[in-house]
Structure 1
């Protein structure tokens, strides 16, 4: 059975634990003095110890009692990969072959929310879009990591809906930062699945559904830039540290590519699913301006 470790709040308290079929094992009440959050667990290389401990414990409360948060609170870096599937590259219709290196941008933790929480559509734009992606969480830091060694630096996997305000990614001549960082416009979760070996990610299905309709579907074996390549490339210019999040790219089929575009609206339900990781589910809500 896949072990799922989540960060959440319960009764106003920040916590973390194991999500099981029978409920939530609150590991933070038992290990919080050693590791206050899952980020510290990863820094200590203790995911395996946590998983073994959870297997011997009974749930403390039902899943319905918790509010999911993004799995790694306050990561040092969230780095996102753009245009990482062949059909996604073709969407640009610029006649160019796939580039030799990945396109990258950063997101802030505040731009994400957790599983089963609403994505927030801001009053500045109705062009809220979805992008289903696989997340890798760095467990062992490093600089200039060789591709051959790259997978040994992964601690865990998760999912992302890399929600985007489309007209704001073209608000200036050459950047996408604004449209990628509206508060709570995207999501990460629901949990972390500890990484064991390459079979977990070599050729798995990644799918995004909106109100039950499949909008995106592809396989990781078709990625232009492999997980190994991404880690090696990113670590060339920045030191990766435990808890860093890398969002690895989305397949074709985002709402912007329809004619006319189909933007997310309040009441929509978006599900991002990947084999062996789970389902990240969110709704949409308009921001309440104060």
Structure 2
């Protein structure tokens, strides 16, 4: 099942993608796609619906972030062995954890803003997962039962802010529009093996990333269990799990996004998102 949110920012409505790729309205069944509607019982009820019985959404409305009301947006760094190699860094012994501000979340086709004074903005196609049931000190064996579904996140990063300024990575990861999310959340039952998904990213028609979740260092089950020892994972929390090789930082010479660049991201089974880079102002 593919759950989506559509409408103008702050006014998104819940929807479902039917078997023909059409958009159906779910607002008669749930108020929104949030942590409160991602529990197994609600997902089972929605899955049992006949999509043809739901109202068709006419036209081409804006597609918003596929999960609303995200409480925590957690990032995992250097989680692909081949990406660590291109970065010239050792494979970490434990997951590298950072936070992205939830105000960075945007729709999968919304513009990405290049901040004023920033000239090292980079792309990162990532597999993300959404928590469906509360997870605290869960075992690795039980971890996947807490995952409601999977989606694409573009972990846009300003590398100078991330690594050349004092402090931790968060400020290089958290500018507005630095977390395009979607186009939809695919429920976990439709992704039998999240550790075997091809993932690709193009910049203005040139393939930059072409990897697979097969090279993940720490898998989804490990991450849920690991994170839940340090913090309680609540329904609706999103964890984005790292990026394969091909980021601008790893190129020689390094290459970063410029105004007018178009990023196109795709992960097997999870759809496509696309953003145009625009130059931001001073406020």
> TM-score if structure 1 supplies the norm length?
0.90
Instruction: Give, in whole Å, the separation in 2 of the partners of 1:129 and 1:200.
Output: 28
The aligned residue for residue 25 of structure 2 is 26
Match of 1:92 among 63, 87, 91: 87
Matched residue, 2:226: 233
**1:252–1:284 Cα change, 3 Å:** same
**Pairs within 5 Å for 1:79-118:** 79-94=74-89, 96=90, 98-118=91-111
Task: Confirm or deny: 8 A CA contact 2:4 2:33 kept in the other structure.
Answer: no
Q: In structure 2, how many angstroms separate the alpha carbons of the residues matched to 1:221 and 1:116?
A: 27
1:40 aligns with 2:36: yes
Deviations 1:188-243 (A, max 9, x none): 11111011176231311111111222211222122111111111110011111111
Closer/same/farther in 2, CA of residues 187 and 13 from structure 1, 3 Å limit: closer
> Within 2, Cα distance between the matches of 1:177 and 1:141?
24
Aligned to 2:3: 5
Match of 1:183 in 2: 176
**Is the contact between residue 42 and residue 243 of structure 1 (CA under 8 Å) also seen in structure 2?**
yes
* Count of aligned positions: 282
Residue 171 of structure 1, CA deviation = 4.3
The 5 A counterparts of 1:127-146 are: 127-146=120-139
SS at 2:36's partner residue? helix
The DSSP-based 3-state class of the residue aligned with 1:184 is coil
List structure 1 segments (4+ residues) > 4 angstroms apart after TM superposition: none
The 8 Å contact of residues 34 and 69 in structure 2, kept in 1 or not, is answered as no
Residue 39 of structure 1: how far off its partner (Å): 2.9
Match of 1:52?
48
Please list every run of 5 or more consecutive structure 2 residues that lacks an aligned counterpart in the other structure. Answer: none
Give unpaired runs (5+ residues) of structure 1.
none
Deviation at 1:57, TM superposition (A): 2.2
TM-score norm. by structure 2 comes to 0.92
SS in structure 2 opposite 1:89?
A: helix
In 1: Cα distance, 2:261 partner to 2:41 partner: 38
Distance 1:222 1:12, change over 3 A: closer
Report how far residue 173 of structure 1 moved.
Answer: 3.7
Residue 119 of structure 1 and its aligned partner are, at CA, apart by 0.6
Give the CA RMSD over aligned residues. 2.1
* Partner residue, 1:214: 207
Q: Which whole-Å deviations, capped at 9, do the CAs of 1:144-169 have from their partners, x for residues lacking one?
A: 11111111111011001100111101
Q: Which moved more, 1:66-75 or 1:144-153?
A: 66-75
Offset, 1:63? 5.5
